A and B are shown apart, each in its own frame.
Chain A
Amino acid sequence: MTMIVIGVIVVLLIIMYVSGYNGLVKAKIRTEESWSQIDVQLKRRNDLIPNLVSTVKGYATHEKETFAKVVELRNQLTQVPTDSHEETMEVSNQLSQSLKSIFALSESYPDLKANTEFTKLMEELSNTENKISYSRQLFNSTAASLNAKIQSFPSNIVAGIHHFTKVDYLAVPETEKAVPNVSFD
């Protein structure tokens, strides 16, 4: 009789252990997936920037510094190793800021605003900017569920044995907190 009870308890423990481990692995994969979503968008934006610069150059000849800054940040972003989330996002946020100043150029150069290539690039870039911020939101929520699993009982025991570590949240840039998204009325 006691053998049966012990057997049942052991089996239950094994089931709990396995399901705890699988849950952690799944949550870990989700955060990696959502990070790669961000990465895809960052790469996409990097591909668009040379086009943007060559389109805008002809119209706004006095804005060399603005272009140089954007190109520099873009190149800097390609140098950052992809697994250092924090650094990547910091450079990316700076890049977003300087891209905004290029968008703003269209106000002072009406010819540029009328250029169809430029309006297309604007939509493409604001699309990637939006996707970056939504993917960041997704990353943070997947990170939150992984962190919750790592901290809560009983999966924290499994997490301790297999060295699952908490994932840091991605900070939302101050500028984005203050000003709501760019609107295109």
Chain B
Amino acid sequence: MLYDQIAQNKRKTVYVLIGFVLLMVAIGAAVGYVFFNSAISGLLMAMVIAVVYMGLMISQSTSVVMSMNHATEVKSVEDAPELWHVVEDMAIVGQVPMPKVFIIEDASPNAFATGNNPEHAAVAATTGLLNRLNREELEGVMAHEISHVRNYDIRLSTIALALSAAISLLVNIGMNSFWWGGGRRRSNDDREGGGSLEIILMILSVLLVILGPIAATIAQLALSRNREYLADASAVELTRNPQGLIHALEKISNSEPMERADPSSAALYISNPLKKKTSGLFQTHPPMEDRIARLEAM
């Protein structure tokens, strides 16, 4: 089942990439059309941004995501022996290389994993997680993160994150230049003919500019939501101890939100770090009660 899952994730990564690139190009053209009066220039801009972002993410995902979340690397075992040892244990039993280990200074307990593949992966835990959880609970959480690494969830979610960030950057560039008058539209007098077609195109473009980033976010979140149940289940397969993860999830869900979590990385964390009340499509994670109920049924 695990191998099916890995193959499926690799395939999905390709679909997600294609989907996002198409969306990106469409939004680029729309932004160009609305704000710079030229679909082609927007399209080119979108392609450049997409290529730069993806290149950056594929080569540097770990350091980019970690610095977005103010995480510092734990270089040696003496700096955080318990965390280091637990990650090492989970890497042994999960049969993946030892990932890099990071710590985030934040009192709220939380953790995430990122990277491009198991050979270039990293896990991060907040100081709150280390202070509040006992070893069994920490093992549960780290087993969940190592499962994300092992299932190639990290590649899929990191790339999705990069592209939805790229889309919002693109829209922001358009908006800024519009408000600051950099690329104001020429008056309609300069144009000839095509009145109603132009209006329809204009409306479509504006809609795309407004809805595009939302669609990207929904796609990103749907991807991450489905991965959480699987990672919980594989975590128990590694530790053989569902209670540890259940207690950890309870402690995590009964705590205050994180102070400096990066909102676009929210979906990477084991539990939504922002704790905003959202529902349905905009949830980054399945409801905690459901996750705990499924673990208790094991």
Contacts and interface: CB of A to CB of B under 8 A. Distances in A.
Contacts of A138: 92-93, 95
A131 B89 contact: yes
Interface stretch (A62-70, A74-82, A176-184): A176-184
Interface string A40-66: 000000000000000000000000000
Interface in B232-289: 240-241, 243
B73 interface: no
B93 A137 contact: yes
A102 B112 CA distance: 36
A165 interface: no
B136 interface: yes
A181 B92 contact: no
Nearest to A134: B93
Contact of B135 (A37, A134, A137, A181): A181
A183 B95 contact: no
B185 interface: no
Interface size class of A (residues with CB under 8 A): 10 to 19
A131 B241 contact: no
Given A131-B88, A134-B92, A181 B82 contact: no
A184 B240 contact: no
Interface residues of B, number: 16
Contacts of B89: 127, 130-131, 134
A185 B88 CA distance: 20
Nearest to B240: A137
Contact of A183 (B90, B92, B136, B240): B136
Contact of A123 (B81, B95, B240, B241): B81
**Chain B interface mostly:** helix
Interface string A124-163: 0011001100110110000000000000000000000000
Nearest to A137: B93
A30 B85 CA distance: 23
Contacts of A127: 81, 85, 88-89
Nearest to B93: A134
Contact of A185 (B93, B134, B241): B134
Interface string B126-140: 000000001110010
Interface string B89-106: 110110100000000000
A137 B240 CA distance: 9
Given A135-B92, A180-B241, A130 B136 contact: no
B92 A37 contact: yes
Interface in B2-45: none
Contacts of B88: 127, 131
B137 to A, nearest CB: 8
Given A123-B82, A123-B85, A134-B93, A184 B243 contact: no
Given A123-B85, A131-B88, A183 B135 contact: yes
Contacts of A180: 136, 241, 243
A182 B82 CA distance: 13
A183 B92 CA distance: 20
A29 B281 CA distance: 47
Which residue among B93, B139, B240 has the maximum number of chain A CB atoms within 10 Å of its CB?
A: B93
B134 to A, nearest CB: 5
Contacts of A130: 85, 89
A184 B93 CA distance: 21
A185 B81 CA distance: 15
Interface in B55-106: 81-82, 85, 88-90, 92-93, 95
Nearest to A183: B134
Contacts of A184: 82, 134-135
A138 B241 CA distance: 15
A137 to B, nearest CB: 6
Top 5 closest pairs, chain A to chain B, by CB: A127-B85, A134-B93, A183-B134, A185-B134, A134-B89
17 contacts: A123-B85, A127-B88, A131-B89, A134-B90, A134-B92, A134-B93, A135-B92, A137-B93, A137-B240, A138-B93, A138-B95, A180-B241, A180-B243, A181-B241, A183-B134, A184-B82, A185-B134
Given A123-B81, A180-B243, A184-B82, 13 more contacts: A37-B92, A123-B82, A126-B135, A127-B85, A127-B89, A131-B85, A134-B89, A137-B240, A138-B93, A181-B139, A183-B135, A184-B134, A184-B135
